[in-house]
Amino acid sequence: MAKRDYYEVLGVHKNSSNDDIKKAYRKLAVQYHPDKNPGDKQAEEKFKEATEAYEILGDDQKKSAYDQFGFAGVEGMHGRGDFSGSVFRGFEDIFGEGGFGSIFETFFGGGGGFRSRGGSTGVRQGANLRYDIEIPFKDAVFGTKVEIQYSHNESCNTCKGSGSADGSSKKTCPICRGSGQVRHSQGFFSVATTCHQCHGEGSIIEKPCKDCGGFGTQKKRQKIMITIPVGVENGKRLIVPKQGDAGPNGGPAGDLYVFIRIKPHEYFERQGLDLYCAIPISISQAALGSDIHVTTLDNKTIKVKVPAGIQAGKLLRIREEGVPSGSRRGCLYLKLIVQIPEKLSRKGKELLEEFAKTEGQNDSPKPIPLSQLADV
C-alpha cells in the first residue's frame, strides 16, 4: 500500500508552524496510543504512521528534504533511522515531563538514538549529519574530488570520550537505579520517561571533565576530501562512514550524508547517459551538406558530417561521447539549428532570389504530419 503524504497524516499544511505540527501529532498520539486501544491493530498502525510523520516534519532539516524531494529525500531517516537522535531525543519536548518517553522505542525497536538513552544499552552511536554540496555539471559527469568543511562533535581528547575527569568512575543513578527511565501511571497510560537525573544514561559522573562538561564530546570543525563518482545524478546522496558526530561516552561516530546538487550547464543537458546540445548551421550547410567541428563536454574537438538536405531541428548522434558508465559511454546528440541571416548583402540577396527562381518555392504550404516532427 502506498504511503500517505506526511502532511496529510498529521492534518497540517506545508506552511504550518512547528508548534502546530507538534500539537497535531500530540492529538493523534493520544488518540491512537496502544495503551488506550489494546488489541486494535488499526490504531497501532495509525500511531506508527503519525510518529513517523512527526519525526520528519518536526525536524527542519528533514522537513526541507521532504518538501524538495518527497519520500526519496528522507529515505532511511525514520524508524530505525539513519539520522538518529535529530528529533526524538526525548518525548518530554512534545508531552512534557509526564510524557510518552518510551513510545518511539516501543514501536520502532529502539533503533538510532532514542532507545539507546537507557543505561542498560551501554554506549550509543553519535548522530548522523547532512551536508549539501553544489558541483559543476562537468564534474558530475566525469567525477571529481571535493574538499568540504563542516562542524561535528568529536571525542574529547582530555577524557578520551568518557566524560569523567582524571578517569573517575561513574555511580549508579539513585533515581532510576541504573535503568535510565522512570515509569509513571496516568489513567489509561503507564509510560516511561527519561530519567531527569542521569538523562537516560543510568549512571552519574561524579567528577565531570572540565573540557567537555561530562558529555565526552566537543564541537570542532574539520576538513575532509570526498570523491564524487562518475555520472552522479542530481539529488543523489553519498554516505561517508564515521564522519558524523562522535557518540557520547566513547560511542561510535555516526555517518555523514552528502546530498549533491548539480549546476546547469550553459550548453549541455543530460538525459540518462546521453548528452544534448544545440549546434547552429547556415542555410547553405543544411542544403549542401558540410563538415563541421564540434567541441564536446570534455573539450575534445571532433569532426561531424552534416548530410545534404538535413532539416532544421534534426538530431545527429555521436556515439561514445555521452556520460561514462563502467566500460561504456552514452551518446552525444547534436540538435541542428538552421540560422537565418537577419541581414543580407546585395550579392547574397541576388543569389537567394536566383535560387528561389531556379528551385521554386511553395506559396501554399500544407501542415507537416506531427509524426514527422518527432526529432524537431
When pLDDT is averaged across residues 27-52 and rounded to a whole number, the result is 85
Residue 58 to residues 81, 190, 280, Cα–Cα distance (Å): 14, 25, 52
Q: Does the pLDDT at position 331 exceed 90?
A: yes
Q: What CA–CA distance (Å, rounded) separates 205 from 216?
A: 11
Query: Any idea where the domains of the chain sit in the sequence?
Result: 1-117, 126-169+206-264, 266-342
Average pLDDT over residues 38-62: 87
The three cell numbers locating residue 352: 537567394
**Over the stretch 9-22, which tens digit does the pLDDT of each residue have?**
999 988 888 889 98
What is the distance between the alpha carbons of residues 276 and 293, in angstroms, rounded to a whole number? 16
Least confident residue range of 74-78, 110-114, 225-229: 110-114
Given a cut of 80, is residue 81 above it in pLDDT?
no
Sequence-distant (6+) residues with CB within 8 A of 370 are none
User: Per-residue pLDDT tens for 174-200?
Assistant: 888 888 888 776 555 567 778 877 777
Q: What is the predicted pLDDT for the residue at 373?
A: 65
Q: Is the pLDDT of residue 82 over 90?
A: no
pLDDT of the residue at 119: 40
Judge whether residue 250 has pLDDT over 80: no
**pLDDT score, position 197:** 76
pLDDT value at 80 more than 60: no
More confident residue, 296 or 214: 296
User: For 335-347, how does the pLDDT look when each residue is reduced to its tens digit (9 = 90+)?
Assistant: 999 999 888 899 9
Q: Taking residues 211-218, report their average pLDDT.
A: 83
Residue 260 pLDDT exceeds 60: yes
Confidence of residue 290 (pLDDT cuts 50, 70, 90): very high
Mean pLDDT, residues 96-105: 43
Q: Is the pLDDT of residue 90 over 80?
A: no
What is the DSSP pairing of strand 324-325 with strand 181-186? unpaired
| Residue 246, pLDDT above cutoff 60 | yes
Mean of per-residue pLDDT scores for the chain: 82
What burial class does residue 271 get, using C-beta atoms within 10 Å of its C-beta: 0-12 exposed, 13-18 middle, 19+ buried? Answer: exposed
Cell numbers that stand for 114 in this block: 532514542
For residue 55, pLDDT over 50 is answered with yes
- For residue 363, the tally of other CB atoms under 10 A from its CB is 5
Rounded distance, CA 58 to CA 66, Å?
Answer: 11
Q: Return the pLDDT at 139.
A: 97
Largest CA distance in the chain: 105
Listing DSSP states for 343-367 in one string gives: S--HHHHHHHHHHHHHH---SSPPP
**Over 50: is that where the pLDDT of 287 sits?**
yes
Of 123-127, 167-171, 244-248, 260-264, the least confident: 167-171
Share of the chain above pLDDT 90, in %: 40
Cell numbers at 285, concatenated? 550547410
Query: What pLDDT, on a 0 to 100 scale, did the predictor assign at position 93?
Result: 46
Predicted confidence at residue 107, as pLDDT, reads 44
Amino acid (1-letter code) at residue 147:
E
| Model confidence at 215: pLDDT above 80 | no
* 304, three cell numbers: 561531424
Work out the average pLDDT over 274-301: 95
Band of residue 100 on the pLDDT scale cut at 50, 70, 90 = very low
The answer on pLDDT for 122 being more than 70 is no
Q: Which three cell numbers stand for residue 280?
A: 547552429
CB of 34 closer than 8 Å to CB of 47? yes
> Do 272 and 325 contact (CB within 8 A), yes or no?
no
pLDDT for the residue 376: 53
Domain at 1-117: CATH architecture: Orthogonal Bundle (1.10)
Hey, how many other C-beta atoms are within 10 angstroms of the C-beta on 120?
11
Report the percent of the chain where pLDDT is more than 70.
Answer: 83
CATH code for the structural domain at 266-342: 2.60.260.20
Q: Which CATH architecture has domain 126-169+206-264?
A: Sandwich (2.60)
Contact call for residues 336 and 281 (beta carbons, < 8 A)? yes
Check residue 164 and report its DSSP letter: B
The pLDDT assigned to 292 comes to: 96
Let me know if the fold of 1-117 is the same as that of 126-169+206-264: no
Residue 31 has pLDDT above 80, yes or no: yes
